[in-house]
Structure formats: structure tokens, C-alpha cells
């Protein structure tokens, strides 16, 4: 059992497994790194962050060893910052500095003002298994998502490489290290509300530098016939219903195998045209968090797609940590026609579901 300390959400402290320790080290490390960099760029007073983990465990007497590993990870990242056009600290951060950075990630959001939303490792199982995961950062102003960034370390730049990535690459990389420039490199996607454009670039240049000149605009698929469309759904069954989405897919004529990937990589897949539909219908008692969707929503919308709840209303990011008022589920589509077909199918099927 892993420790989850999410604004009081979930169980209290529990013994950490090695997998849980690794996951939390990454979560806290990413939060501290992003928090420090945002503060350095915009000033301490201007940065408010809604994020998944708090500092309670790290600050406790039992968290000393874990804190040391987080501090080491953060300094290891920040020393590379100049390669990406950012500033490194003048000296290594200490435990106090890291804890202070994490404590800035305690905003609870709301309808007024400006705050960032961060999911440091979205897709925990994907990360642990070397599969798909994402680092998601969004900026919200007065309840509206205005900027979204998705870092997808295991999501290759080219669609034709996608099918090989998990089955072939992980096997071959154990035999021989990948060559420079090979398709194992991930990508970063980003969009600003109102620009009508979304962009993608390699996560890391072959020489360790961001390759801004290799960035390119991405657009959703032009497929509107359900027979040719592909839908994404979560890998995990714990918080979503595969049987209901499978029934919907059949009812609207979807025949392709679903693309099941961890994390907000699903949003990236739709934004760049690798799939056309994402459906998620949570099981009873599960509440969606804003950090699981904010960045992906604005990227799909600016790439030409549509994202609403199952009632056709925009997702509401103005009501705190949760997506309160969500009507049944979340539907993201590459175009309005497919989106309307899914909405109609949900209305026709919902009363017979067990959700």
C-alpha cells in the first residue's frame, strides 16, 4: 500500500513499499523542481500551485531518508536547467529549501485569481512499469484554463513508432542501448487558450538541448466516421468502467480496438490525431481531480477538438480541487460530429448502466 497525502484525500500514512518510495520521490521531486523554477521566473509572491502531494511525510521524523533522496533528485534536475534556458540555483538546495518549494503547492484553487495546477507524475502505474505517464502543468485564471503543458517522456514523436514503443523498444533496449535520435525520445505538447494552435516538440534534443526549431503544430484527426475512429480509455479499471465505454463504442459504430494508455497521454493522443475519442465514466464514489484534466483539455481544444462532460457542458475548473458538478463522465473528441454521437449514445444507454 502506497502513501497518498492529497489535500487530505485518501488513507493516512502507511508503510512504503520500494515502488511507493520511488513514486513519491518522483512526485515530490517534480513538485519541488517545478515550484522552484516557477518562483524563480515569476517571483515567490506570484506563484500559487494546486498539486497532489503535501510535505507532511517529508517533514516528519520518519521522513528523513526520503527527504534526502528528494533533495538529491531535485538538485540533480536543477543543475541541468541552463540547458533549457532556465537558471540554476546559485548553490544546491537544502532540505529546508525543498520543503518550502513543496509547501507552495498547497493552493486549493477556486473561482478567482491565478494559480497553477500540477500533476507531477500522472499515471503512477505507467511510470513504475516503464509505460506511458505524463507531467502535466496548467495555468488557471479566474476559473478558466489558459495554458497547458504535457510532458510525455515515453510517448514517441511519430505515430508510426507508437505501436512499437512498449512491445518492442523495451525489449530491445535491454539488449543494446538506443542510438542517438532514435524513436524512444518523448515529446512535450503545449497550448495557450485562444490561439487556435497547439504545439509539440521533442522532449530532449540529441545533444541535451530543447529543440525549439523542431516544434510543430498539431491538429486533431479529420476522421468523422465512427467506423474509422479510435477511442482511448484508461488502462486502470478501478476508477472507470470499461464495459460501459465498450458498449457505447459498439452502439455508435466504433470497430477499432481501443487505445488503452495510462495518464493524460490520452489527451495528447487525441490532440495530435493518433485517436479520435476519449471517454471516461467514473465508478460511483470517485471524484475527478482538476490536475488530471486541466492541461489536456486546453491542448485538445486549441488543436481543434471538443471536451465536455457527458451532458455537453464545459468542465468546471473553478470549484476547488475536484471537478464538481460533473455530469456522469468526460468526453473528448476530435470533432463536433463524433462528440454529438457520443453524447446521444450516453443518453440512450445511461439508465441501463450500473454506474
pTM (two decimals): 0.85
- Burial label for 181, CB within 10 Å (0-12, 13-18, 19+), is exposed
pLDDT of residue 218: 96
Q: Is 40 annotated as ligand-binding?
A: no
pLDDT of residue 176: 55
**Percent of the chain with pLDDT strictly greater than 90:** 53
pLDDT of residue 181: 46
pLDDT of residue 2: 29
25 carries an active-site annotation = no
Per-residue confidence band for 354, with pLDDT thresholds at 50, 70 and 90: low
Task: Tell me which of 185 and 346 has the higher pLDDT.
Answer: 346
Q: Write out the E strands in 179-268.
A: 187-192, 198-202, 216-218, 231-233, 259-260
Structural domains in the chain, CATH included, are 1-105 (no CATH), 226-352 (3.40.190.80)
Find the catalytic residue in 5, 25, 33, 124.
Answer: 124
> Which residues lie closer than 8 Å to 44 by C-beta, 6 or more apart?
104
Find the catalytic residue in 5, 25, 27, 230.
Answer: 27
Question: For the segment 65-97, what is each residue's pLDDT rounded down to a tens digit?
Answer: 999 999 999 999 999 999 888 999 999 999 999
> Which residues lie closer than 8 Å to 99 by C-beta, 6 or more apart?
55, 58, 59, 67
d(C-alpha 34, C-alpha 25), whole Å:
14
Average pLDDT of the chain is 83
Question: For the segment 146-170, what is each residue's pLDDT rounded down to a tens digit?
Answer: 999 999 998 988 776 666 555 555 5
Q: pLDDT at residue 313 above 50?
A: yes
Separation in Å, CA 193 to CA 16, 32, 186, 228, 246? 40, 26, 24, 29, 32
Q: Is 316 annotated as ligand-binding?
A: no
The candidate with the shortest Cα–Cα distance to 313, out of 300, 330, 299, is 330
Instruction: Find the helix or strand (DSSP H, E) in which 234 lies.
Output: none
Can you tell me whether residue 306 is helix, strand or coil? Answer: strand
Angle at 119 between CA 117 and CA 123, to 5 degrees: 150
d(C-alpha 158, C-alpha 156), whole Å:
6
Question: For the segment 203-260, what is each residue's pLDDT rounded down to a tens digit?
Answer: 876 544 445 557 899 999 999 888 899 888 777 665 556 677 777 777 887 778 777 7
124 carries an active-site annotation = yes
d(C-alpha 209, C-alpha 229), whole Å:
36
The candidate with the shortest Cα–Cα distance to 53, out of 79, 38, 35, is 35
The candidate with the shortest Cα–Cα distance to 133, out of 118, 119, 148, 147, is 119
- Burial label for 148, CB within 10 Å (0-12, 13-18, 19+), is buried
Q: Which residues pair with 83 in a beta bridge?
A: none
Q: Is 119 annotated as ligand-binding?
A: yes
Q: Is 62 annotated as ligand-binding?
A: no
pLDDT of residue 353: 58
Q: pLDDT at residue 11 above 60?
A: no
Question: DSSP labels for 124-189?
Answer: HHHHHTTS--EEEEEEEETTEEEEEEEEETTS-SSGGGHHHIIIIIHHHHHHSPPPTT-TT--EEE
d(C-alpha 152, C-alpha 21), whole Å:
22
CA–centroid distance for 354 within its chain: 28
Separation in Å, CA 146 to CA 108, 120, 200, 213, 337? 18, 19, 17, 24, 25
Amino acid at each position: 500500500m502506497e502513501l497518498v497525502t492529497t489535500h487530505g484525500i485518501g488513507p493516512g500514512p502507511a508503510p512504503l513499499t520500494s515502488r511507493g518510495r520511488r513514486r513519491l520521490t518522483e512526485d515530490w521531486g517534480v513538485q519541488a523542481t517545478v515550484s522552484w523554477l516557477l518562483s524563480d521566473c515569476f517571483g515567490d509572491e506570484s506563484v500559487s500551485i494546486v498539486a497532489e502531494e503535501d510535505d507532511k511525510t517529508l517533514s516528519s521524523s520518519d521522513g528523513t531518508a526520503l527527504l534526502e533522496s528528494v533533495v538529491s533528485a531535485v538538485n540533480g534536475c536543477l543543475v541541468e536547467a541552463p540547458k533549457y534556458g532556465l537558471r540554476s540555483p546559485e548553490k544546491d538546495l537544502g532540505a529546508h529549501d525543498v520543503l518550502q518549494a513543496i509547501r507552495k503547492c498547497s493552493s486549493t484553487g477556486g473561482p478567482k485569481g491565478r494559480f497553477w495546477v500540477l500533476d507531477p507524475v500522472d499515471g503512477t502505474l505507467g511510470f513504475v512499469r516503464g509505460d506511458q505517464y505524463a507531467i502535466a502543468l496548467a495555468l488557471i485564471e479566474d476559473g478558466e484554463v489558459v495554458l497547458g503543458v504535457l510532458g510525455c517522456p515515453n510517448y514517441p514523436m511519430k505515430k508510426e513508432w507508437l505501436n512499437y514503443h512498449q512491445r518492442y523498444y523495451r525489449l530491445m533496449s535491454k539488449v543494446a542501448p538506443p542510438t542517438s535520435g532514435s524513436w524512444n525520445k518523448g515529446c512535450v505538447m503545449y497550448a495557450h487558450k485562444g490561439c487556435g494552435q497547439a504545439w509539440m516538440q521533442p522532449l530532449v534534443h540529441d545533444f541535451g538541448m530543447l529543440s525549439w526549431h523542431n516544434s510543430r503544430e498539431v491538429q486533431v484527426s479529420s476522421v468523422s466516421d465512427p467506423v474509422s475512429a479510435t477511442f482511448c480509455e484508461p488502462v486502470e479499471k478501478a476508477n472507470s468502467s470499461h464495459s460501459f465505454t465498450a458498449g457505447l463504442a459498439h452502439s455508435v459504430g466504433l470497430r477499432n480496438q481501443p487505445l488503452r494508455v495510462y495518464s493524460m497521454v490520452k489527451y495528447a493522443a487525441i490532440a495530435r490525431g493518433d485517436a479520435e475519442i476519449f471517454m471516461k465514466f467514473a465508478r460511483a464514489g470517485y471524484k475527478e481531480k482538476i490536475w488530471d484534466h486541466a492541461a489536456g483539455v486546453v491542448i485538445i481544444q486549441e488543436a481543434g477538438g471538443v471536451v465536455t462532460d457527458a451532458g455537453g457542458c464545459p468542465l468546471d475548473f473553478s470549484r476547488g480541487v475536484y471537478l464538481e458538478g460533473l455530469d456522469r463522465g468526460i468526453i473528448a473528441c476530435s470533432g463536433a460530429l463524433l462528440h454529438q454521437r457520443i453524447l446521444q449514445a450516453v443518453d440512450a444507454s445511461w439508465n441501463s448502466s450500473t454506474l
